[in-house]
């Protein structure tokens, strides 16, 4: 990946619907070169998808939280079962396995605190392999999706 590829990625991280002509102009290359580079970055899996960024508040999702979950069992079967269980809940938008006291970190968006409480107490804590759940409610989202640090790549 050269500096032009990085510039293309930087632009597309900020505005995914940038045209090849606009990319070419910004990178001082032809439209066709920009298109070929974009296509190559897509084929390599560097560019994974283009996505619209929605306003959670505008669509009625007023509470964002991060939830740490600790498990009783750490077998492959328990992990698969837990992940399958979580797939049924659309308010869980990201799921990571982590190091430390907890085993999983979930990012969730809920309509309100009542919906978050329902998710924690009537869903997560009732899962057979869950031993502990701890949630942190986001008060303010200060740094929003600034993209990956391409200067470090």
Please write the tens of the pLDDT for every residue from 25-78: 999 999 999 999 999 999 999 999 998 889 999 999 999 999 999 999 888 999
* DSSP H/E element including 119: helix 113-119
Query: CATH no. for residue 8?
Result: 1.10.10
The answer to whether residues 72 and 128 belong to one domain is yes
**Mean pLDDT value across residues 1-21:** 96
Sheet holding 63-71, edge to edge: 92-97, 104-110, 63-71, 130-137
Model pLDDT, residue 152 = 85
Q: Are 30 and 24 in contact (CB under 8 A)?
A: yes
pLDDT bracket for residue 4 (50, 70, 90): very high
The answer to whether residues 96 and 67 belong to one domain is yes
Model pLDDT, residue 147 = 86
Reply yes or no on whether the pLDDT at 143 is more than 90: no
- 15 located within any domain: yes
The per-residue pLDDT for range 88-136, each reduced to its tens digit, is 999 999 999 999 999 999 999 999 999 999 999 999 999 999 999 999 9
- 121 located within any domain: yes
Model pLDDT, residue 145 = 82
Q: Are strands 130-137 and 92-97 parallel, antiparallel or unpaired?
A: unpaired
- 129 located within any domain: yes
Q: Report the DSSP beta bridge partners of residue 104.
A: 69, 97
The answer to whether residues 131 and 67 belong to one domain is yes
Reply yes or no on whether the pLDDT at 151 is more than 90: no
**Mean pLDDT value across residues 9-13:** 95
């Amino acid at each position: 990946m050269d500096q032009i590829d990085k510039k293309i990625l930087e632009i597309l991280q900020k505005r995914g619907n940038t045209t090849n002509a606009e990319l070419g102009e910004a990178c001082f290359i032809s439209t066709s070169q920009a298109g070929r580079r974009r296509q190559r970055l897509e084929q390599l899996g560097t560019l994974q998808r283009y996505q619209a960024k929605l306003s959670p508040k505008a669509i009625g999702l007023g509470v964002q939280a991060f939830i740490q979950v600790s498990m009783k069992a750490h077998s492959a079967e328990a992990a698969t079962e837990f992940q399958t269980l979580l797939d049924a809940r659309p308010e869980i938008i990201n799921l990571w396995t982590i190091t430390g006291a907890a085993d999983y970190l979930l990012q969730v968006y809920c309509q309100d605190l009542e919906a978050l409480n329902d998710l924690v107490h009537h869903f997560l804590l009732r899962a057979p392999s869950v031993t502990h759940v701890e949630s942190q409610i986001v008060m303010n989202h200060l740094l929003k999706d600034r993209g990956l640090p391409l200067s470090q790549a």
